[in-house]
């Protein structure tokens, strides 16, 4: 079945980036991380906009970009790295599309810590304690429409990828996109200034790399 959107979710350190890249290689489809949508609040101090408003702006921009690719015929568009609380918006945003939410989680806190402290994918976020909290929230709440959860504590990425691929191949869309069984209190929200600063640093670093790559002439 051709799926419009594949949303990979989970706490930092659960393996989202690894699986997103493998899906991208398999489907040859567009792949977007939320952190790639730059936030310019710090670069334009004359614009009176809060961090929360700019996050909303970035989320809306990502959804517009993804839907536009779909409008031109692209399928299996991969989205990842969204804030946990943003997941409650997905069923509403994609109510007219065929979408699947794949949520990865781990069952041992030390796995998250080890992965985050040793990863080399360019992500500088190291607050593994926050990731442990997010991982706990994910396991405790009820599933969203079209959501599947996969335990990913193992190091066998091929087995996890196969499990995801099997789900996508056999997926039957939910009859309803109703999310009344969950509320924002069921999702992890970080209000720590330190966490916000690290997030903005990650976004600025990724945006800078991409601008640099675009401006470098190909040989």
Residue matched to tokens 């080399």: 120
198 vs 170, residue with greater confidence: 170
The answer, yes or no, to whether residue 23 has pLDDT greater than 50, is: yes
Q: Which residues contact 80 (CB under 8 A, 6 or more apart)?
A: 7, 8, 9, 16, 17, 20, 31, 32, 33, 34
What confidence score (pLDDT) does residue 196 get? 47
203 vs 59, residue with greater confidence: 59
- Among 61-65, 125-129, 208-212, the range of highest mean pLDDT: 61-65
The answer, yes or no, to whether residue 162 has pLDDT greater than 50, is: yes
Residue of 92, 113, 112 lying closest to 101 (CA atoms): 92
Q: What is the mean pLDDT of residues 164-178?
A: 96
Q: For the packed helices 128-140 and 109-118, what is the interaxial angle rounded to 10 degrees?
A: 140
Residue of 181, 106, 190 lying closest to 149 (CA atoms): 106
Q: State how far the alpha carbon of 36 is from the alpha carbons of 62, 104, 148, 207, in Å.
A: 9, 21, 25, 6
- Residue 190 contacts residue 130 (beta carbons within 8 Å): yes
Residue 116 pLDDT class (50, 70, 90 cuts): confident
pLDDT in tens, 26-52: 999 999 999 887 766 666 667 777 878
pLDDT in tens, 55-100: 898 999 999 999 999 999 999 999 999 999 999 999 999 999 999 9
State the SS3 of 48-79: CCCHHHHHHHHHHHHHHHHHHHHHCCCCCEEE
Residue 1 pLDDT class (50, 70, 90 cuts): low
Long-range contacts of 37-46 (CB under 8 A, 24+ apart): 37/61, 37/62, 37/65, 37/203, 38/203, 38/204, 38/207, 39/200, 39/203, 39/204, 42/200, 42/204
Residue 124 pLDDT class (50, 70, 90 cuts): low
């Amino acid at each position: 079945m051709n799926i419009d959107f594949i949303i990979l979710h989970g706490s930092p350190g659960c393996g989202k980036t690894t699986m997103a890249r493998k899906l991208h290689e398999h489907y040859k489809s567009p792949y977007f991380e939320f952190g790639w949508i730059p936030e310019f609040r710090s670069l334009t101090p004359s614009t009176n906009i809060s961090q929360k408003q700019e996050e909303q702006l970035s989320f809306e921009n990502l959804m517009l970009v993804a839907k536009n690719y779909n409008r031109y015929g692209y399928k299996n568009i991969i989205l990842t790295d969204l804030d946990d609380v943003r997941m409650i918006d997905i069923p509403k945003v994609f109510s007219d599309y065929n979408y699947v939410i794949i949520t990865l989680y781990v069952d041992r806190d030390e796995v998250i810590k080890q992965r985050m402290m040793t990863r080399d994918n360019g992500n500088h976020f190291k607050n593994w304690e926050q990731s442990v909290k997010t991982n706990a929230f994910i396991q405790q709440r009820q599933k969203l429409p079209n959501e599947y959860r996969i335990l990913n504590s193992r190091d066998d990425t091929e087995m996890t990828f196969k499990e995801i691929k099997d789900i996508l191949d056999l997926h039957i869309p939910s009859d309803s996109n109703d999310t009344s069984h969950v509320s924002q209190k069921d999702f992890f929200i970080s209000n720590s200034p330190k966490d916000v600063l690290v997030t903005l640093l990650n976004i600025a670093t990724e945006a800078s790399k991409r601008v640099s790559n675009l401006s470098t002439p190909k040989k």
